[in-house]
Chains A and B, each alone.
Chain A
Amino acid sequence: MTAVTDKPRATRASAAGSSGKGCPVQVPAPFDYARATSVADALELLERHGPESHVIAGGHSLLPMMKLRLARPEWLIDINDVAELGHLTEEADVLRVGALTRHAALLDSDVVGRLFPIVHDAEKVIADPVVRNRGTIGGSLGQADPAEDLTTVCDVLRAQVVIVGPAGERVVDIGDFHRGPYETACEQNELITEVRFPIRARSSSAYEKVERRVGDWAVAAAGAAILLAEDGTFADVAIGLTALGLEGLATEAAAVLVGERPSEELLAEAGRLAAVASSPVEDQRGPVDYKRHLADELTRRVLRRSLERVGATAGALQGG
């Protein structure tokens, strides 16, 4: 979110904070803190401390927001000790990723890279290696920042989000999970516990982001996931855009490809339609025309790269 990382120093509150020496310190407003030991414990704490209690995972979105008073929770429920949220499990048709899985762990995982190369494409350009040591997949989805890279990744991979609350567990399609910028289907008294990625044969994916400098949020980015039929035509295509004003998938761009044999002309048409579907706003990261151009060009590139990757996979399968 631009407001967080680009906020000028002038917004620093001169809170007494920790220094108590009149030195300008940007600290969060006071709150109480509790550490959860399990999912059940976290839910109990959220329930007990009421609507102004919030989960903190890596804290790399929430703490900057709290410093700026864009968030003012009265209680923080720290879930970093909840070991049952840190799993990464490959099953026959699904990869289960615990909500507390750090960006760095996703990037380090060979399983993730093999099944979903798009995740590695994105993780390499999410923030910087130090931030990636702390930020989590659950926090990224929970934050629901329109510039969040993993949101687009989860969209195109047709992920599902597991949410646990007082009424039990529910599994929500990623499309229903997003309710708009900074809004999700996860209620205050609930916890995201897992993200599920369906594993499909003859499929691949890619992500590409344009950023002003290393570690910055996207000027624009695009992600794609494709599934090829036995005859080499597109059986399923999902295209998503980051920071380009598109909620959910670019369905019309994907629709022109389905049932067709891949060709540069078709990729160009998909790129054009993705740009049409985007509605970027001008900001310090660039003007509208430039961002539209990126929507078009990046869409073509991620489709092309996904195709190359399916080729590589198919080749390896035949060889083995």
Chain B
Amino acid sequence: MQVTMTVNGTEVTRDVEPRLLLVHFLRETLGLTGTHWGCDTSNCGTCVVLVDGEPVKSCTQLAAMTAGHEVRTVEGMAAGGTLDPVQQGFMEEHGLQCGFCTPGMMLTARALLDRNPDPDEGEIREAISGQICRCTGYATIVRSIQWAAAHPAAETTDQEVRA
């Protein structure tokens, strides 16, 4: 069947099997491997993407169900060479070690801050409670999101990041 959806602002149309999960559509059909695929049982949250601005576990949604909707993946976080404040926060506060959970964590953080620009620690921990990090112990992830909340218009270009 044919599905059309908007991914990171670009409309895409592809022929897919109805059983294709959104996570595989993104990773394999579109080649957007920034979205990770872990437990495949809706538990770990590394596959989280935003669908119409809301965090969704893409291993538990069909590409077919997503047709007509707007998807945002980690590849769509930086705009015009400028990192999203959440991405910068994860750098500033060491919000990742191996990085496996990071795309899902950052997108959930983005959705949280869009809804609630000044969350307290409890609200941050609640928002990411459907996602597992095996490295950081969460403390630095919470601090990264707090950093992003405190710097809503952080300005760092790709150049500075690489430097």
Residues on A facing B (Cβ under 8 Å): 4-5, 7, 9, 12, 17-19, 25-33, 35, 56, 59-60, 63-64, 67, 76, 78, 80, 127-131, 133-134, 214-215
- Cα distance A196–B41 when bound, in Å? 32
A126–B92 CA distance with the chains assembled, in angstroms: 33
* B86 CB → nearest A CB, Å: 16
B22 to chain A, nearest CB (A): 10
A19-B28, A64-B41 known; A129 and B20 CB under 8 Å? no
Query: Cβ of A17: which chain B residues have Cβ within 8 Å of it?
Result: 19, 24
* B interface with A by C-beta (< 8 Å): 1, 17-21, 24-25, 28-29, 40-43, 45, 48, 54-57, 60-62, 64-65, 67, 108, 126-127, 129-131
Which residues of chain B have C-beta atoms less than 8 A from A127's C-beta?
A: 130
A131 touches B42 (CB 8 A): yes
- Selected from B18, B41, B126, the residue in CB contact (under 8 A) with A129 is B126
Q: Can you name the residue of chain B whose Cβ is closest to the Cβ of A133?
A: B54
- Taking a contact as CB atoms under 8 Å apart, the answer to whether B1 and A131 are in contact is no
Identity of the chain B residue whose Cβ is nearest the Cβ of A63 in the assembled complex: B60
Q: Is there an interface contact between A129 and B129, defined as CB atoms closer than 8 Å?
A: yes
In Å, the complex CA distance between A214 and B64 comes to 30
Is the contact region of chain A dominated by helix, strand, or loop, or is it mixed? loop
Contact B29 A33, beta carbon cutoff 8 Å? no
Contacts of A12 in B (CB 8 A): 40
**Chain B residues, CB < 8 A from A67:** 40-41
Can you identify 30 A-B contacts, CB atoms within 8 angstroms? Answer: A5-B41, A17-B19, A17-B24, A18-B25, A18-B28, A19-B24, A26-B40, A30-B18, A30-B19, A31-B18, A31-B19, A33-B62, A59-B61, A59-B65, A63-B61, A64-B41, A64-B42, A67-B40, A76-B18, A78-B64, A128-B130, A129-B130, A130-B55, A130-B57, A130-B130, A133-B54, A133-B56, A134-B56, A134-B60, A134-B61
